[in-house]
């Protein structure tokens, strides 16, 4: 924020404004909107039909229990419904974790570079941030995170696949984290890209934590990515016990999640054929983007999420601006320092991916020819 009004605490005045969806050059609709890790193929037709049906009842407040969605999630995760909490996006699950576990006397450990929410909500809580650099492969550095735990640690965030880099923790690393975080510390595993990592052979964080963790935990997931419901704003947390759910309930607003969003998510969850098509399209898109980065001379991080990132060796903001001028939206890592040359492109359709790579090549002033698999 600019300035610092006398009524505003320093820790709030110093926060960056929220990222907006944005548009193309001169406000024109972008040709390829590839900066927010959205799904380019749209939601399940069942979800759209469910929204239309639910719309007739929007004169009533939604059920606080989120049925039937919570029961479906319980059946899939093997965790009792009373240990599942819904929120208007998994972003809020992460925020609530900070609100219930942190205060100015505590610290929060989280990976870097990763999802900015960890740092932001730690600052809002007035707690001390302890960012831990990710491993060279882009996955969270579990030994370093465990070594950073101290007497004041109140919360540990892990992200797998990791936001911005896309690296995934294997089961052994996740189990080590589960066992290594003290029972007095809340462990929150952010699995926003769970469906993609599971398709790539990754572990189920809920199953790992159920087996190996004695202390409190949350696994956060979302319907914004693989289920293509970003605009519906719905995420959920699977928790170690009712005490965690009740703590979150004490800091969240009433009637936060809309009945239409719940209906859409329940319908999307049951359309496994649509999910399979999204996962396969995402896998192919990752390969297309990675090949394009390599053709330009860059070594992308090995992502199993719905984006691909690379260090392009020069300040990224002018490159992003040049790409936006051509109607392609991508983004940098939004880290305070050290990653101002990293660029991330969300997976789009085959044609959108090709547009992004062409726009990147033009922004870099190169005549490199894209490999055939990057062409629409």
Q: What is the pLDDT of residues 262-272, one digit of tens each?
A: 999 999 999 99
DSSP, residue by residue, 5-24 = -TTS-HHHHTSPPPP----S
CATH class of 45-270: alpha beta
Q: 21-42+273-374 domain in CATH 3.90.1150.10? A: yes
Q: Give residues with Cβ within 8 angstroms of 27, minimum separation 6.
A: none
Band the pLDDT of 5: cuts 50, 70, 90: low
For position 370, what pLDDT does the model report?
Answer: 54
Q: How far is CA 279 from the centre of its chain?
A: 16
Q: What is the pLDDT of residues 63-99, one digit of tens each?
A: 878 999 999 999 999 999 999 999 999 999 999 999 9
Q: What is the pLDDT of residues 270-319, one digit of tens each?
A: 999 999 999 999 999 999 999 999 999 999 999 999 999 999 999 999 99
The predicted model gives 234-248 an average pLDDT of 98
Q: Which residue has the tokens 């979150």?
A: 248
The predicted model gives 180-193 an average pLDDT of 98
Domain definitions of the chain by residue range? 21-42+273-374, 45-270
Q: What is the pLDDT of residues 113-135, one digit of tens each?
A: 999 999 999 999 999 999 999 99
- Tell me what percent of the residues of the chain surpass a pLDDT of 90: 87
For position 236, what pLDDT does the model report?
Answer: 98
For position 166, what pLDDT does the model report?
Answer: 98
For residue 261, give Cα distances in angstroms to 54, 175, 239, 266, 315.
9, 33, 21, 9, 39
For position 376, what pLDDT does the model report?
Answer: 37
Query: In what helix (H) or strand (E) does residue 85 lie, and over which residues does it extend?
Result: strand 84-87
What pairing do the DSSP bridges indicate for beta strands 84-87 and 153-159? Answer: unpaired
For position 15, what pLDDT does the model report?
Answer: 80
C-alpha closest to that of 335 among 326, 344, 327, 324: 344
Question: Which spans in the chain are helix H?
Answer: 10-13, 45-55, 69-77, 90-101, 117-124, 142-147, 171-180, 194-199, 205-212, 242-249, 259-270, 272-295, 316-325, 350-364
């Amino acid at each position: 924020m600019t300035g610092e009004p006398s009524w505003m605490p320093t820790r709030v005045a110093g926060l960056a404004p929220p990222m907006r969806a944005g548009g193309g050059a001169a406000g024109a609709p972008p040709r390829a909107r590839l900066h927010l890790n959205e799904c380019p193929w749209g939601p399940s037709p069942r979800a759209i039909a469910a929204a239309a049906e639910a719309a007739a009842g929007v004169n009533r407040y939604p059920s606080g229990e989120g049925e039937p969605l919570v029961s479906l999630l319980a059946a899939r995760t093997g965790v009792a419904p009373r240990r599942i909490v819904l929120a208007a996006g998994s972003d809020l699950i992460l925020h609530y974790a900070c609100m219930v576990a942190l205060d100015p006397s505590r610290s929060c450990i989280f990976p870097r570079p990763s999802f900015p929410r960890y740092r932001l909500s730690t600052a809002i809580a007035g707690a001390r941030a302890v960012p831990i650099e990710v491993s060279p492969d882009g996955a969270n550095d579990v030994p370093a995170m465990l070594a950073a735990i101290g007497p004041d640690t109140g919360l540990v965030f892990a992200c797998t696949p990791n936001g911005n880099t896309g690296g995934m923790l294997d089961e052994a690393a996740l189990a080590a984290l589960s066992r290594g975080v003290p029972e007095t510390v809340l462990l929150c595993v952010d699995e926003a890209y769970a469906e993609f990592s599971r398709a790539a052979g990754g572990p189920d964080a809920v199953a790992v934590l159920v087996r190996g963790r004695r202390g409190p935990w949350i696994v956060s997931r979302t319907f914004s990515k693989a289920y293509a419901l970003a605009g519906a704003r719905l995420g959920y947390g699977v928790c170690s016990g009712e005490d965690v759910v009740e703590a979150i309930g004490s800091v969240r607003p009433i009637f936060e999640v809309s009945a239409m969003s719940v209906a859409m998510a329940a319908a999307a969850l049951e359309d496994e054929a649509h999910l399979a098509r999204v996962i396969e399209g995402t896998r192919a898109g990752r390969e297309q983007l990675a090949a394009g980065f390599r053709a330009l001379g860059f070594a992308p991080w090995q992502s199993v999420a719905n984006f691909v990132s690379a260090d392009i060796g020069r300040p990224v903001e002018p490159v992003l601006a040049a790409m936006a001028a051509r109607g392609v939206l991508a983004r940098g890592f939004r880290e305070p320092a050290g990653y101002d040359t990293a660029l991330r492109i969300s997976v789009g359709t085959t044609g959108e991916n090709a547009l992004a790579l062409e726009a990147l090549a033009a922004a870099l002033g190169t005549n490199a020819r894209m490999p055939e698999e990057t062409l629409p």
